[in-house]
Each structure stands twice: as C-alpha cells, then as structure tokens.
Amino acid sequence: MSAHYVLTLGCPDRTGIVARIAAFLSDAGGWITEAAYHADPDTNWFFTRQVVRADSLSFGLEELRDRFATLAAELGADADWRVSDTAQPGRVVILVSKEGHCLYDLLGRYAGNDLPMEVRAVIGNHKDLESITAAHGIPFHYVPFPGPGEDKTASFEEVRRLVDAEDPDAIVLAKFMQIVPDWLCERWAGRAINIHHSFLPSFVGGRPYHQAAERGVKLVGATCHYVTAELDAGPIIEQDVIRVDHSDAVTDMVLKGRDIEKVVLARGLRWHLEDRVLVHGNKTVVFH
Amino acid sequence: MSAHYVLTLGCPDRTGIVARIAAFLSDAGGWITEAAYHADPDTNWFFTRQVVRADSLSFGLEELRDRFATLAAELGADADWRVSDTAQPGRVVILVSKEGHCLYDLLGRYAGNDLPMEVRAVIGNHKDLESITAAHGIPFHYVPFPGPGEDKTASFEEVRRLVDAEDPDAIVLAKFMQIVPDWLCERWAGRAINIHHSFLPSFVGGRPYHQAAERGVKLVGATCHYVTAELDAGPIIEQDVIRVDHSDAVTDMVLKGRDIEKVVLARGLRWHLEDRVLVHGNKTVVFH
Amino acid sequence: MSAHYVLTLGCPDRTGIVARIAAFLSDAGGWITEAAYHADPDTNWFFTRQVVRADSLSFGLEELRDRFATLAAELGADADWRVSDTAQPGRVVILVSKEGHCLYDLLGRYAGNDLPMEVRAVIGNHKDLESITAAHGIPFHYVPFPGPGEDKTASFEEVRRLVDAEDPDAIVLAKFMQIVPDWLCERWAGRAINIHHSFLPSFVGGRPYHQAAERGVKLVGATCHYVTAELDAGPIIEQDVIRVDHSDAVTDMVLKGRDIEKVVLARGLRWHLEDRVLVHGNKTVVFH
Amino acid sequence: MSAHYVLTLGCPDRTGIVARIAAFLSDAGGWITEAAYHADPDTNWFFTRQVVRADSLSFGLEELRDRFATLAAELGADADWRVSDTAQPGRVVILVSKEGHCLYDLLGRYAGNDLPMEVRAVIGNHKDLESITAAHGIPFHYVPFPGPGEDKTASFEEVRRLVDAEDPDAIVLAKFMQIVPDWLCERWAGRAINIHHSFLPSFVGGRPYHQAAERGVKLVGATCHYVTAELDAGPIIEQDVIRVDHSDAVTDMVLKGRDIEKVVLARGLRWHLEDRVLVHGNKTVVFH
C-alpha cells in the first residue's frame, strides 16, 4: 500500500470548517482517500480525520505539518491536531505481568503484520513472558515490583525510564495488573492504553469476573480505555461482550472473557495507532 | 403441538437425584422430550427442568403434581418445584405508562401467537396506550398516579387489586416507570418482570441512556429482571447490548436501545412463561 | 429537531471533489451537521452524504436543489444525486401477505414516531392484516392473487396502480411472499425494499429456514435488500444473524428469525428513508 | 480441578433411556456434575452427554468403559458412544500452510493452558511457521507439496504417516489451504477439523472474502466443521460473523475475518476435545 498522511483535528465548531480544510488539502493537490467528520452538539466541538495519498502532494511530511499547524491555529485547535505518516509504524511498548493471553495475541498479530506497529520492548514485573517475547526477537525487561502495601515508586520509575527510552506512540497495559500512579498517568496521557476485563462502568477495580458472577449477569465484557488517574475511568476506546450463563463458573468466565479482552484491546490499539481516536474530555470520537 | 407437562425443581445436590427423577418419570411411562440439569458447586444446589409428553402418562396433571410433590419433598425441594401444562397459556398482565414500544412489541407477538400467553389486561397510569390495547381486544385499566413526592399507595393498591383479580403468572412492567413499593414486590415475588434500559449493574435508576452518553460507552444494553425491593437489583433473566458510537446523541441511544429492550423483554418473558427460569438467591438458572 | 437538508451524490472520483462540495455549501452559509465520504478504489467512484441545517441557508429547498444539480452535473453525477428535506417524512407503502410480525413492528414504530415516514397504505393479498392496519388509521387494500402457476399480471397491475397512486419513496415488501415481476422491479428500482429470511447469499428462494435446518447452520440470518429482477440478488442494505443450535426445530428458527427480520428491515428502511443508502452497481454504500 | 469422566452416546429414542443411563451411573455411585440430553424428533434419535466425578466411582476408567459399552449396546448405540477422562488432554496435530494467525492463536492458548490438549506436532507445506512452533517446543514437520494440477498423493501420504504416528484425537486444519483427498477424509472422519473463512454454505471454495466483497454482504463469517469428502460441506460445529461495510476492501475483510476465524476454530476445537460434539448425519449436536 502506498504511503498516506493522516490528519486529525479537534476545534470549536462553526460554519465553514469543512470547506477550509478541504480547500487546504485541495490547494495542495491532496488526493483524499478517507474523510470523516463529527460535530458534537453538546460541547459545540468539531472533529475531523482526513487521509491523503502522500504522492499526491507536491511537498513532504514536515511541510504538511507546518502548513496544517497554521490552519489548526486559525481554527482554534491549539495542540489538538496531528499529522502522521502511515509509512511509519507506531512505536509500541507493552507492559505485562504473568497472564499472557493478550501479549500472545498482540505478538501473533505483530508476526502477521496485522497491526501498523513496531513493538520496541516488553516490560514485565514477572519473568513468565520473557521467552515468548524473546522468540519474537523483542527485548524483554524484567522490573520486579514490591508486594501490596509497599512503596512501588522505584519500580515505576524504572518502568518509566525503560518506556520513555523508546519514545513510544502507545504504551499498552496488556494485563499489567498494577495501578499506575497519577504522575505516570499524566506523563503518558493519551498514549497509555489499558484493557479492563469488564464492561465498564460495571465492575471497576479488582476481580471483575468474580463481581460479574456474584451479580449473575448474562454477558461479560471487556473495555479498552486510556489510562487516567481515576482507576478504570479513562476515555473508553472500545468495548465488547460475550454471553455467559448459569453454568459458567468464574473460571469459565475468565476463559470466555479472554477472547473478548484480546479483540477489544487489539481493536483499540489499532484505532489508536491509525489515529482514529480523538479524545474530548472523558470521551472519545472513534472514526472507523 | 401436542400438550406437554413441564417439571422444574431446585433442591440440595447429592448423588442419585438425576436417577430418582428419571426413574420417577420412567415408571410413569413419561416420554421425555427435553431434560436439563444444573448443579451449582458454590451453593451445592441442584436444578432441573424436564418436559414430558402429556399423552405418554397414564394419569393427568393433578396426579402428576401430587406424585411430584412427594418426590420433591423427599429431595428437600420444599416449595421450590413446579409442574405446568403447556396447553395452558400463561396469564399475563402488563403495566405501562406513556412509552409504547414494548407494549406494541408484546401485542404484536401476542397477535402472531408467538408467546405462550393470554394477555388478561393492560394497566396504565396514562391513557396513551388505551386504544392500541383495545384494538387487540384486551381490557385497558387507567389508574392515575399522583406526582413525584406524593403518596402513591392508593394508586398502587388499585393496581394490585386489578392485577390480582387476574391471578397472573406474569406481571410485566413494560416501561411502567414507577418504582414498585416493597410490599408489592414481595407480593408479586418471582412473577413481576421488569425491563431496564441499561446493561445492569451499570446505570441503575433513572435516565440510564443519559448516564451512558455521559460516560462515553460504546455499547448500550437492556436487562430483563425480576422485580425486588432493591431497585434494579433483582435476579437477571436476560441481557443484551447494541453498539453505539460518538455520533449517537442520547435520542439516538434511546432509539437504538428500544430494539434491545423489546427483544430482551420478550425473551425473558418467554423463558419465564415456559418455566425455564429457576431463581436461586439473587441469580437465575435459565434452561434455554 | 430543526429541519435539515440532506444531499447525496455519487460521481467519478478525482482530486478536489470534497473541496468543491464543501465550498459550495460554505458559500451558501451551510452549517454542516453531518458529512460522510467514501471513495471506492475498485470502480474509482466517489460518494458523499451531507446534512446541513435548513435555517443556515439564505435560500430554500428548490434553490438548493437547482444549485446542487448544476454542481452534480459538473462532477459527472448524472442522475446520481439527491436533495431531501428531513421535515418531509418519506411516503411509504407496505405490501403484506398473511404473516404479520414485520407489519406489526413497522406500525409500532410508526405509532411511536420512530421512523421518519408516513405510511400511506398497506396492500395485502390476504385480509389477515386488515384490522391492525385499520387500528392505526391507515388504508388497507385487499388485492387477491391467483394460485401458483396462474397468471398474476392483473393482480400485480392492480398493486402497481395502488402503489403508484401514493407516489411512495419506499415500497416495503414486509413478508409479501410474492415474486415481483421484472417490469415492476424495474419500475420501482431503488425504492422497493424486501426482507429475506436468510443471510444471503445463503438460502435463496423459498423456505430458507428449512434449508438452514437441513444444513445444520449455527446462526440464522435476515437480509434487507433492494428488489431487482434476479430473485434475492439485489443490493444488500443490511443483514444480521441470531444464534440457533441443534435443539431448534424449524419452527423455533422461524420464531427466533422473526426478531432479526424485524430489526433488519426497520434498520434498512430507516437508512433508505434518511438517504443514507447509495446504490452502486449491485452493492450499497450505507452512511450510518 | 479433579478428574472427571465424560460419557457420550447417541441411539434410537424411546421411553426410559434417561432413566436407564441415570440408574446406571447412580448404581455406580457416580456424582453427575453435568448432564445434557437432546432428542431429535425428525430422525427419532437420542443424544446425551454426562460428566461424573472420577473419584465418585468405585472403579476405574476401563471398568466404566466396559460397563457403558454393554449399556450402549442394549440401547442400540453401536459404535456411537464414548467414555473419556478429562485428566487425559486430547492429542492434537495441526496442519498449516503460510498464514499463521490461527496457529499463533492456538499456540497462545496452549501456552496459557486454555485448551485441554497436548499439541503433538505441527505439519506445514511451507516453512514459514517453523520457528514459532519450535519456540513452543513442538516438533514441526515440513512436507513440501507439488503445485496446482500435479499429483499430491505422495505428499498427503507423508502427512498421513506423520499424523497417524501421533494417534491424534484431533487433526486441525489451521488454514492448511490444501484440499484433503477423499481417502484421507474417510480415514480421519470425525477427527479432522477445518476452519473455513466464510459463513457456510455461502462462499464455498476459494477466495471467500473476494466472493463476499463481490456480493456486497454486510457481515463476513467463519465456519468450523468436520472435514468430509465434499468440499466445505461437512458437519458444522460452530460459526460466527463480524460486521463489515462498504469501506472495507477485501484486505480489510481478511483482517477482520481473522478475528472470527481464530475464535470459531478455538471454540470448535474445545468442544470437540471436551466431547461436546456428537455428529449425526451431516449435522452436529453440540452440548455447551
């Protein structure tokens, strides 16, 4: 597939924005292959994502970025815009613990070239997933964490150092099972993606399948969301559910839920990497 | 379809129950067309639902009931058993307010003979749905309710009188929008079925679609459950969800959600009427 | 909701179309509330749907239509464009036979104001659904049809006369169960919508649930499509499925399938009425 | 989890079978943890699956098998019965070609102990998936195949030799992309499981996603089925679908479809390994 540039922008809504952006691209000779818009009537905010063929423009990525920055400023977008190049796969770091289903799934997709990403490193607070990571030729960093109630700052600082060294576009918490401290949530805002094994806002926090079994629900779910300081309350990117019934013990729910966790995380990550997700307050606009 | 008898039972689990019940039916010449079992390891409780051809037995419904009562007592089932006749459609009373989509749906199914029920009456605290009820030849009772904050006891007493006069197998709250008082929940325990427009336990109480929009969820749901004193917390019979996205305003969610509310209520009611639902604590076993 | 104008267009793809259309609307002061685009790389065809607030334009519907006609011609759209007014509900005629679930569903939605339509008439080749139609205050026309193998031309001619008298935007075959002759398919091209009770292209033609049961499939489906001369082969608007298993006899599949038929037809009809469906060859672009 | 024995049986239906089997297990002291029945009215055939706790019996697996064989014979089950031990994971051989998503998925589940199986070998007609197989410590056998039109008998004979050497309970065609000859279908009858990337019976044979795109369907599917001599026509174990739309090119359908192929294959394989699938003619009874 030939290279494309992806432009996204969020700004106050008013008449003529679509025309301004379209004219901007048209004047540059841009061949638009995808264009999506959304106007939120509640907040009066406008969102767009445009994809143009790189070879249709008479100039390169940096020039496009400069020009679009000017337009974005005029439209009042502040920092809320982005231009990326589909020829540059997103840089990804994955955080794991012991449970491997999400990592195995992501690595399988990586091996099959199914996601536009380069996995730079996997970081684990246990060594269980070191060998499969190595089998894929990816560096694995083991960062031991102290037990419950002890100060985890040093461990998180080490994780931060390892993550930031890769300058990642996405930090994926693939069943990391550690609550990220506020200062790190803030630092990674808009880039740290978590998979929670419930249909949020149901069953926030620990042992959601146990909570689900206790309540007797007929579906269990999974939620992919951006990590924010408030636990399991960040902007939701994607959710899905799978049917369970009275015959499913918690262990069965865990097993069935994994299939949903894997696809929900993979979809959320894909959309993030393809710049399809625009965050607005605590909600997302997902152009898919 | 020839008539069948449906036997359900819940009792403490132990070795040999299946054999006892099977032998009981076999000795009576019972031709079993459906048989389902469930053993709950957490509570060590046993559940079964059996369907036999009425014409395979050498005796009638009352005799079967008497004999099964004896067996149930031996198995420690107390009152937790039931024998019903599929030739006898369930007696149903429907409670409504202004919103008609669930009533229209149930009446459409009734007209098409899709549910094993006889709708005895519709009771509304508004008159909006009187004419469609009348068009189906069903009595409509208008029971005005006082406004918020006022004492609704007299109105609920009148509803109770009208409902109980029909001796219903199911009392369906089809968007009734009134919180049933504890004394009435208790009276109708195991027979009053509500449809709540969220995927419980998310978004309990009022305006769940507004809550869903506020949280930015990617699916909205509906839950059919038995009415209990604690609001929206009764045993769940059925749930389902439908996809929404950022472009769906609350009004769109309401519209999409209706399609889920209708089918979830209809499924839950069907299973209740077919004696497929066994309540155990605050959870259900649904043999479908 | 305030009135909006909906503009749709399909034309050969080339650079600058988005800008042209955006500028056209912007110059007219148009406040765009929805905008969707699609470029089909296989056929090199471009599709768009735009929604503008009626009160943002300094002129009316006819003037907008005139101006857009000129633009469409310049873009090579020929007749493949449309401007409609959301304040004008679509005119709908429904064709039925004996089976009522789709009609009941549509009338329930009509009563609840859930679809942007005015049901002008219901035409049946049996009288079974006359009374429910009358209960909704809609004219019912009974047009008897000869049996299999006999010439049905006169009956179809009478149906055509009754339909065309209403100048409908949509002719809905809601379980009509008669194969529409080619001349009538052609006359109603792009307006006649059928619901077929299978996941097409599986199980074309008669008794699809019997075919499904015979094959032992684990899901049954429904397909809403435009009627064309080739049976069950027209452009697909919407499809969905529902799970079945070995315990479902054909009669159970019929029952479960109805729930899917109803929602698939309602969704397809909604999208057609909201001008979200653009036909291209034997496929559809659906902007939802 | 403690060990359980799983008993399955299919035989002509008649009164008293349930009682016979239940008494058989009860007399042996069997603690039943799961029991499922199905009676097919069309063929008048009876099916059951029972699970008993191994430690509840006073004798072992061989004795149970002997006794059950006698009962099965009395019930006319011929060879259509089976007793297995959940403590013995199923022996599995996987056949692959170049495409790895299903293999990666199965190996991930294997690593996570999610499926009751022991993967004995992977056989490929290309070497692409050798290293991931080796990373899981599983033998990989490369069996080159001649091109289209040439005689593949020798290659299939070699595959057969390698497969049969493992005496597998399941032979999984995980995107094997070679049409298995009749003699091998027969040899592996009831054990060879294929994943086909369409919702059968739609789009039999090659390039189903191309066929799907051509037809303009709104959902694409996957089907897990037993391999039989007639291509893609064997008994269906499981199917599922995923939504696509006009914006999905064939390559997008391939990508989306993979997620369905993986879960459908994994579910089908699980049910096969757990002895939940009983084949009857060209259909399956799946007790889940």
The catalytically annotated residue of B105, B169, B232, B248 is B232
Instruction: Give the minimum alpha-carbon distance from A50 to chain D in angstroms, rounded to a whole number.
Output: 14
CA nearest D52: which of D71, D24, D33? D33
> Cα(B140)–Cα(B134) distance, rounded to whole angstroms?
7
User: Over 90: is that where the pLDDT of B144 sits?
Assistant: yes
* CB atoms A26 and C33 under 8 Å: no
Q: Which amino acid is at C32?
A: I
Q: Which residue numbers of A are catalytic?
A: 232
User: Over 90: is that where the pLDDT of A155 sits?
Assistant: yes
Give the distance, in angstroms, between the CA of residue B225 and the centroid of all CA atoms in the same chain: 7
| Three-state DSSP class for residue D267 | helix
Phi, psi of B265, deg, nearest 5: -65, -45
Residue A22 sits at the chain D interface (C-beta within 8 Å):
no
**Percent of chain D beyond pLDDT 90?**
91
Q: What is the pLDDT of residue C21?
A: 93
Is there a contact between B264 and B105 (Cβ–Cβ < 8 Å)?
no
* CB atoms D23 and B22 under 8 Å: yes
Residue D30 sits at the chain B interface (C-beta within 8 Å):
yes
Q: What is the pLDDT of residue C272?
A: 98
* CB atoms A108 and D114 under 8 Å: no
Query: So what CATH class is A90-286?
Result: alpha beta
Question: Is the complex ipTM higher than 0.90?
Answer: yes
Instruction: Give the minimum alpha-carbon distance from C23 to chain D in angstroms, rounded to a whole number.
Output: 25
At the fourth CATH level, the homologous superfamily of domain B4-85 is ACT domain (3.30.70.260)
Buried b / exposed e across A203-232, counting CB within 10 Å, b at 16+? beeeebbebbbebbbbbbbbbbbbbbeeeb
Nearest CA in chain B to D30: B15
Q: What is the pLDDT of residue C15?
A: 87
Residue B104 sits at the chain D interface (C-beta within 8 Å):
no
> Cα(A17)–Cα(A44) distance, rounded to whole angstroms?
13
Residues C53/C54/C58/C60 CA torsion (nearest 10 deg): 150
**DSSP state for residue D103 in the 8-state scheme:** H
B285 to A5, A216, B272: CA distances (angstroms): 53, 9, 11
Residue B13: list chain A partners with CB under 8 A: none
- For the stretch A13-63, pLDDT in tens is 998 898 999 999 999 999 998 999 999 989 999 999 999 999 999 999 999
**Percent of chain C beyond pLDDT 70?**
100
Residues of chain C with pLDDT under 50: none
- Using a 10 angstrom Cβ sphere, with 0-12 exposed, 13-18 middle and 19 or more buried, the burial of residue A275 is buried
Q: What are the beta bridge partners of residue C117? A: C90
Size of the A and C interface in Cβ pairs below 8 Å: 61
What does the pLDDT average to over D207-225?
96
> Cα(A257)–Cα(A240) distance, rounded to whole angstroms?
10
Residue C104: list chain B partners with CB under 8 A: 104, 107-108, 111-112
What does the pLDDT average to over A148-161?
96
Query: Which chains share 3+ C-beta pairs under 8 angstroms with B?
Result: A, C, D
Per-chain mean pLDDT for chain B: 95
Task: Tell which of B97, B132, B136, B254 to mutate to test the C interface (max C CBs under 10 Å).
Answer: B132
User: Over 80: is that where the pLDDT of D245 sits?
Assistant: yes
Q: What is the pLDDT of residue B2?
A: 74
* CB atoms B112 and C132 under 8 Å: no
Residue C104 sits at the chain B interface (C-beta within 8 Å):
yes
> Cα(D122)–Cα(B221) distance, rounded to whole angstroms?
43
**Quick one: chain D helix, strand, coil %, rounded to 5?**
35, 30, 40
What does the pLDDT average to over A269-277?
98
Q: How confident is the model at residue A165 (pLDDT cuts 50, 70, 90)?
A: very high
Query: Which chains share 3+ C-beta pairs under 8 angstroms with A?
Result: B, C, D
* CB atoms B41 and A218 under 8 Å: no
The partner residue sitting opposite C22, judged by closest CB among A18, A30, A41, is A18
The partner residue sitting opposite A246, judged by closest CB among B203, B217, B286, is B286
Q: How confident is the model at residue D157 (pLDDT cuts 50, 70, 90)?
A: very high
Q: Which amino acid is at D196?
A: H
Token output for B101:
């989509």
Residue A266: list chain D partners with CB under 8 A: 259
Q: What is the pLDDT of residue C188?
A: 98
* CB atoms D100 and A112 under 8 Å: yes
What does the pLDDT average to over D126-151?
96
218-257 in chain D: CB under 8 A from chain B: none
Residues B92/B95/B99/B102 CA torsion (nearest 10 deg): -20
Q: What is the pLDDT of residue D165?
A: 98
* CB atoms D22 and B25 under 8 Å: no
Task: Tell which of C46, C209, C219 to mutate to test the D interface (max D CBs under 10 Å).
Answer: C219
| Three-state DSSP class for residue B93 | strand
Sign of CA dihedral B20, B25, B31, B36: negative
Residue C161, phi-psi category: left (phi > 0), alpha (psi -120 to 50), beta (remainder): alpha
Q: Which long-range contacts (CB under 8 A, 24 or more apart) does A226-229 make?
A: A226/A189, A226/A190, A226/A192, A226/A193, A226/A194, A226/A279, A226/A284, A227/A173, A227/A180, A227/A185, A227/A188, A227/A192, A227/A193, A227/A194, A228/A185, A228/A189, A228/A282, A229/A182, A229/A185, A229/A186
Give the distance, in angstroms, between the CA of residue B217 and the centroid of all CA atoms in the same chain: 28
Q: What is the pLDDT of residue D2?
A: 74
* CB atoms D100 and A114 under 8 Å: no
Residues C68/C71/C75/C76 CA torsion (nearest 10 deg): 70
- For the stretch A107-131, pLDDT in tens is 999 999 999 999 999 999 999 999 9
- Using a 10 angstrom Cβ sphere, with 0-12 exposed, 13-18 middle and 19 or more buried, the burial of residue D65 is middle
Is there a contact between D217 and D243 (Cβ–Cβ < 8 Å)?
no
The partner residue sitting opposite D112, judged by closest CB among A100, A107, A108, is A100
Instruction: Count the Cβ atoms, other than its own, within 10 Å of residue D251.
Output: 11
The catalytically annotated residue of D105, D232, D248, D275 is D232
Residue A31 sits at the chain D interface (C-beta within 8 Å):
no
Residue A30: list chain C partners with CB under 8 A: 15
Residue D56: list chain B partners with CB under 8 A: 15
CA nearest C266: which of C288, C246, C233? C288
> Is B232 among the residues known to form the active site?
yes
* CB atoms B23 and D23 under 8 Å: yes
Instruction: Count the Cβ atoms, other than its own, within 10 Å of residue D78.
Output: 10
- For the stretch B187-229, pLDDT in tens is 999 999 999 999 999 999 889 999 999 999 999 999 999 999 9
Sequence ranges of the domains in chain D: 4-85, 90-286
Instruction: Give the minimum alpha-carbon distance from C89 to chain A in angstroms, rounded to a whole number.
Output: 23
Q: How confident is the model at residue D148 (pLDDT cuts 50, 70, 90)?
A: confident
Instruction: Give the minimum alpha-carbon distance from B255 to chain A in angstroms, rounded to a whole number.
Output: 18
The partner residue sitting opposite A25, judged by closest CB among C19, C32, C34, is C19
- For the stretch A193-252, pLDDT in tens is 999 999 999 999 889 999 999 999 999 999 999 999 998 999 999 999 999 999 999 999
Q: What is the pLDDT of residue A267?
A: 98
- For the stretch D28-80, pLDDT in tens is 999 999 999 999 989 999 999 999 999 999 999 999 999 999 999 999 998 89
Q: What is the pLDDT of residue C16?
A: 87
* CB atoms B26 and D37 under 8 Å: no
* CB atoms C16 and A33 under 8 Å: no
Sign of CA dihedral C59, C65, C70, C74: positive
Residue D274 sits at the chain A interface (C-beta within 8 Å):
no
Instruction: Give the minimum alpha-carbon distance from B197 to chain A in angstroms, rounded to a whole number.
Output: 15
Residue A107: list chain D partners with CB under 8 A: 104
Q: What is the pLDDT of residue B27?
A: 92
Query: Which chains share 3+ C-beta pairs under 8 angstroms with C?
Result: A, B, D
**Percent of chain A beyond pLDDT 90?**
91
Q: At what angle do helices D17-27 and D61-74 cross, to 10 degrees?
A: 160
Q: At what angle do helices A250-273 and D250-273 cross, to 10 degrees?
A: 170
User: Over 70: is that where the pLDDT of B31 sits?
Assistant: yes
Buried b / exposed e across C104-117, counting CB within 10 Å, b at 16+? bbbbbbbbeebbbb
CA nearest D245: which of C118, A34, A48? A34
Residue C247: list chain D partners with CB under 8 A: 38
